[in-house]
């Protein structure tokens, strides 16, 4: 009975936290108010907080520098609500077992679930690992002032658990992103005459190569590298042959390749000039024999490879991604998370950490 009451209290505390979070707009780079709220919540729980920019973190009460640490990380920023919303995105309502509100699913539910785990173990004085809880900013726009900006403050982290909506399956691998800006070159001329070199036509063979080329290596968890032309621009006047045609390629990379290798392949096969925007968002993979992953398998938590990126892309140590909610609901109108998903997510995470930390 006491355990049931404890679980009930955790769910209620998580719901009240999440409702309060939803009420506060927290678009990427504009998370100051949610950072203040999270800091106040932790302070009210008698937990000492640290803050850098809009990132808030805390360590367990009996933190021991001689022990390795586990980072519990999730983000409190959101995308902006789409015009398709029919509800107030900042009005948290529970209807038919669903908690509606912007950020409820991505990543408010996973964030508060990891927070409840952290609070549960906060006062334990004999843990084999330190626990660091970090609520971070700028995940949605891969900004430099998010998790990356506070990593230098941490030492001796053995692995990270990143909170994202995964239907409580555990992502052991995640694709990285490489965005390439390409320019095909031609020579301008009058469209009515047989002069000039049409840059659009110059671009077509390159675009066809991008569409059909298959990279040799396939990932066990992530499948093939996926490359897609997503933007194209050329010309200004109907009667002028364009001398440049620019197009953008979105490349989703598996752990089988580095960004540099993919870039070199493009440059060898395309006549267009190819310029990478960033090498920042790398693919990631954790060894499935890692003790934490094995713990998850023993609890019948399904493992999978994720095609979407998260803060794992910039975390330099082994990591997994897990949390309540459904990734398919992220960034959709009238976003919601089931209350039962939140309750079950907290219970499963507590069971996972209890099992792992007791070994």
Interval 314-343 mean pLDDT:
96
Give the span between the Cα atoms of 142 and 164, in whole angstroms: 15
Helix (H, G, I), strand (E, B) or coil at 39: helix
pLDDT category of residue 6 using cuts at 50, 70 and 90: low
Give 89-142 pLDDT, tens digit per residue.
999 999 999 999 999 999 999 999 999 999 999 999 999 999 999 999 999 999
DSSP codes of every residue in 155-210: -SEEEEEEE--STT-EEEEE-EEEEEEEEEE-B-EETTTT-SB-HHHHHHHHHHHH
pLDDT at 72 over 50: yes
> Is pLDDT at 5 greater than 70 in this prediction?
no
Tokens for 345?
């997510």
Query: What whole-number distance in Å separates Cα of residue 86 and Cα of residue 39?
Result: 31
Q: How many residues does the chain have?
A: 359
Percent of the chain residues past pLDDT 90, beyond the cut: 95
- Note whether 132 and 271 are within 8 A (CB): no
Query: How far, in Å, CA of 36 to CA of 51, rounded?
Result: 9
pLDDT tens-digit readout, 161-180: 999 999 999 999 999 999 99
190 pLDDT higher than 90 = yes
pTM over 0.95? The answer is no
Structure-token match 């990285």, residue found: 176
Q: Which two tokens stand for residue 87?
A: 């509800």
What's the DSSP call for residue 130? E
Q: Note whether 34 and 26 are within 8 A (CB).
A: yes
User: Mean of the per-residue pLDDT values for the chain?
Assistant: 95
Domains of the chain, first to last: 2-174+283-357 (3.40.630.10), 176-276 (3.30.70.360)
Tokens of 258: 């580095």
pLDDT of residue 194: 85
What string of DSSP letters covers 223-265?
BS-EEEEEEEEE-SSTTEE-SEEEEEEEEEE-TTS-HHHHHHH
- Residue 223, helix vs strand vs coil: strand
Over residues 271-323, the pLDDT tens digits come to 999 999 999 999 999 999 999 999 999 999 999 999 999 999 999 999 999 99
Q: What is the pLDDT of residue 7?
A: 59
Q: What is the pLDDT of residue 10?
A: 84
- Per-residue pLDDT, averaged over 54-79, amounts to 97
């Amino acid at each position: 009975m006491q355990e049931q009451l404890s679980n009930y209290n955790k769910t209620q505390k998580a719901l009240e936290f999440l409702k309060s979070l939803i009420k506060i707009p927290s678009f990427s780079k504009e998370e100051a108010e949610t950072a203040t709220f999270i800091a106040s919540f932790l302070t009210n729980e008698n937990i000492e907080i640290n803050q850098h920019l809009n990132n808030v973190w805390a360590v367990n009460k009996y933190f021991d520098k001689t022990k390795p640490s586990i980072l519990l990380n999730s983000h409190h920023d959101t995308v902006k609500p789409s015009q398709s919303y029919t509800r107030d995105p900042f009005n948290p309502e529970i209807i038919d077992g669903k908690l509606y509100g912007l950020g409820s699913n991505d990543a408010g539910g996973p964030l508060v679930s990891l927070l409840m785990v952290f609070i549960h173990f906060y006062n334990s004085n004999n843990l084999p690992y330190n626990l660091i809880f970090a609520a971070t900013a700028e995940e949605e726009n891969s900004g430099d002032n998010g998790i990356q900006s506070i990593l230098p403050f941490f030492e001796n982290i053995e692995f990270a658990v990143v909170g994202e909506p995964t239907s409580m399956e555990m992502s052991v691998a995640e694709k990285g992103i490489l965005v390439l800006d390409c320019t095909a070159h031609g020579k301008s001329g009058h469209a009515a005459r047989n002069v000039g070199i049409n840059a659009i036509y110059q671009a077509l063979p390159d675009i066809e190569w991008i569409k059909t080329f298959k990279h040799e290596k396939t990932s066990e968890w992530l499948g093939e590298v996926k490359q897609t032309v997503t933007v194209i621009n050329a010309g200004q006047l109907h009667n002028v042959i364009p001398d440049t045609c620019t197009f953008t390629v979105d490349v989703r990379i598996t752990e089988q390749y580095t960004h540099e290798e993919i870039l070199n392949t493009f440059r060898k096969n395309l006549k267009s000039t190819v310029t990478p925007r960033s090498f920042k968002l790398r693919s990631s993979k954790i060894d499935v024999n890692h003790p934490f992953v094995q713990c998850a398998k023993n609890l019948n938590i399904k493992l999978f490879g994720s095609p979407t990126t998260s803060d794992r892309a910039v975390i330099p140590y082994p990591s997994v991604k897990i949390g309540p909610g459904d990734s398919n609901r992220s960034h959709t109108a009238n976003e919601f998370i089931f209350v039962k998903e939140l309750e079950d997510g907290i219970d499963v995470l507590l069971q996972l950490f209890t099992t792992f930390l007791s070994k």
